[in-house]
Amino acid sequence: MTTEHFAIGVDLGGTKIELALVNRLGQILKKLKVATPAKEGVTAVIREIISATQALLQGTEAHPLGLGIGVAGQIDPAGETVRFAPNLGWHDVPLQAELQQQLELPVALLNDVRAATWGEWLFGAGKDCADLVCLFIGTGIGGSVVSGGRMLCGHSNSAGELGHLTIDLHGPLCTCGNHGCLEALAGGWAIARRAAQAVAADPRAGKELIRRAAGQGGNITAATVASAELAGDPLASQIVTEVAEALIAGAVGLVNAFNPERLILGGGVIEGLPELVPRIAQGVKQRSLKVASTKLQVLHAEQHNDAGVIGAAAFALQSVIGNEVHS
């Protein structure tokens, strides 16, 4: 029997559910991953979360103080309901009450990107920092902001949609319906779109990209571009430069608007192209206001795939036992 403070962290995505038992220092004691039965509906997914939680706890002596769950979707300001989660097909699911009732544990519900930011803030590249911006560049781009030692939520709990900063007034269409969003120029899906267009416009220049995508321009992904760039392909290298320019423009705006001490970059695109971190750091130092950039650090996220579960668990501890987790 242990007296240590534990919580369960859950990262609920459209294809998989990740769970971890995490202590108050952000250390993972045990973890588990199961498939999300998204197509079987809300009840099946909740049942799966419950049984995976029980499986996680089996054979341990830990008595978790709560469960935190990060969901890829919009969470209401009270942290009770998943308003909309496109990958799960959910609308207005009262997930907190459902889980709390069945698990007989306090449950804290939050957006998955915000959970990852909690993880980076408390235990990763944002440790001991009161002013940070996290930018996660994956298929889409999301983020979260800590300012003056507090996570910004906004009026509808949607603050931090940093992928939807307009950085190119006359730029390409975004999935959100707007034009020239950061995500529409530097998100994974946009990198794939840009590469497919470049290859279609000049198949000769795109030979290497096409080869790596098994002969089909339409198969090119951001990972294809990253691997071709690493191998020295000029077209891939040009596309990566465009992506870097877009990320610098977005990062400059974020630094000028939020004046963070640290800008933390993570997500699949950064994992595939880690060279982007120093490139963005240099561009941001050159182009943002001196007052905002003098003390700025631009850092690679530290927790990679575990930030979500660690952050969700930390958020749960924070919710249950208050600021104690911070000390």
CB of 147 to its own copies, least distance (A): 5
For residues 303 and 119, the answer to whether their CB atoms sit within 8 Å is yes
Rounded least distance, CB 62 to its own copies, Å: 33
Q: How many residues form the binding site for its own copies (CB under 8 A)?
A: 54
Classify burial at 46, counting beta carbons within 10 Å of its beta carbon; exposed 0-12, middle 13-18, buried 19 or more: middle
Q: Is 322 in the site for its own copies (CB under 8 A)?
A: no
Rounded to whole angstroms, the Cα distance separating 94 from 91 reads 9
Binding mask 58-77 for its own copies (x = CB under 8 A): ----------------x---
Q: Alpha-carbon distance 124 to 57, whole Å?
A: 25
87 binds its own copies (CB under 8 A): no
Instruction: Indicate which single residue of 81, 96, 288, 318 sits in contact with its own copies (rule: CB under 8 A).
Output: 288
Give the Cα separation of 49 and 43 in Å (integer).
10
Q: Which stretch binds its own copies (CB under 8 A): 30-38, 63-71, 206-214, 283-291?
A: 283-291
Closer of 227 and 259 to its own copies (Cβ): 259
Q: Which is nearer to its own copies, 25 or 173 (CB)?
A: 173
50 binding its own copies? (CB under 8 A) = no
∠ Cα 49 55 61 (to 5°): 125
Strand partners, 262: 132, 297
* Contact between 231 and its own copies per CB under 8 A: no
Residues between 139 and 168 that touch its own copies (CB under 8 A): 145, 147-148, 150, 152-162, 164-168
Least Cα distance to 239 among 283, 208, 266 occurs for 208
CA–CA separation, 304 and 118 (whole Å):
13
Which two three-digit tokens encode residue 158? 């949607």
Instruction: Classify residue 179 as exposed, middle or buried by CB count within 10 Å of its CB (0-12, 13-18, 19+).
Output: middle
Span from 15-23, 267-275, 285-293, 305-313 in contact with its own copies (CB under 8 A): 285-293
Footprint on this chain of its own copies (rule: CB under 8 A): 74, 83-84, 130-131, 145, 147-148, 150, 152-162, 164-171, 176-178, 180, 185, 245-246, 249-250, 252-254, 256-261, 287-289, 291-292, 294-296
